[in-house]
Every structure is written in C-alpha cells, then in structure tokens.
Amino acid sequence: MSRMAISTTVNGDPAEFLCDPSETLLDALRSSLGLTGAKEGCGSGDCGACTVMLDGQMVCSCLVLAAEAEGRTIATIEGVAEGSVLHPVQDKFLEFGALQCGFCTPGFIVAAKALLERNPDPDESEIRYWLAGNLCRCTGYDKIVRAVQAAAAQMRQEGATA
C-alpha cells in the first residue's frame, strides 16, 4: 500500500502529512501531526471524544479518512484557545468543574464552541441536543450544560461591549 501526501489547513496553519489510504483523520492528527487532543473512545462515532471541525462541520475524526482532508480546513481542540488566552467555553468548563478525567472534554469543547458560533443564545434543550453526540462517564451533564450557558452569556456580553 503506498502512502499518500495530504495538504490541508489545521487550526489556521498549512499542514502536510503522509498517510495510508485506510488511515483515519484521528490517527493522522495524533500520529503525523502530533495533535493529541482528540481522543479515540469508541472508534465507531458514538462517543464524540474525537470531534473536530472539518470545513466548519463537526465530524467524528475516527470516521473520516485522513485522505479526505486533502485541501480542506480542520479545526481541533488545540486551535480553540487564542495563544495563551482560553476561549470562554474552556474558561467556563474550568470554572464550573465541567470535567473530571478530561477524556471527553476536547470533544465537548469543540462541539460547544461550534454551537455558540451558530447560535450565541441557545436554551438548555438546544445545548443538550447539540451535545448529545458526546458522551461523558464522569461528570454527568449538568455542569457541562451550565458551563456552556455561562460561556454563551459571557460571549454575548463581550460582543455587546466590543
């Protein structure tokens, strides 16, 4: 099997890597690009631990072939913060204790950020619906939902004063 050369954009920067035709995007991100934030929990798209954005759409990177990233734009948990400044979702996850073991946290944060970019004022049912593809075995979901609500409020407030 010959390896393929892939050119893409990851977290705003051009990136190139080699992959086997059957390699997943998750494996390429972790092994070829050293971006280990996305985790493999299930390998079947059921847990959301490997959630990334591909051309602005949430995907389970365990279900996407690395070759499909050719010419596309990928955003991972590593690109959520701006330098050393945490995104409000990250900040509120810490403040509200919305993580315990942390395994699922990157997927939740990527999904929550995507939601708030789409709808800056979601109600609780929309937050729960949007995050339904992400599973957590440690925290329960209330702290996660409260953190997303608080991040949304902060982002709306900052947007109003900017």
Structural domain range at position 33: 4-79
68, 128: one domain: no
- Closest alpha carbon to 13 in 37, 42, 33: 33
Domain boundary among 52, 79, 106: 79
Q: Is the pLDDT of residue 1 over 90?
A: no
Count of Cβ atoms closer than 10 Å to residue 140 Cβ: 11
Domain tally, the chain? 2
Work out the pLDDT band at 162, boundaries 50, 70, 90: very low
The fraction of the chain above a pLDDT of 70, given in percent, is 98
Q: What is the pLDDT of residues 26-62, one digit of tens each?
A: 999 999 999 999 999 999 999 999 999 999 999 999 9
Q: Is 115 left (phi over 0), alpha (psi -120 to 50) or beta?
A: alpha
Q: What is the reported pLDDT for 137?
A: 87
100, 141: one domain: yes
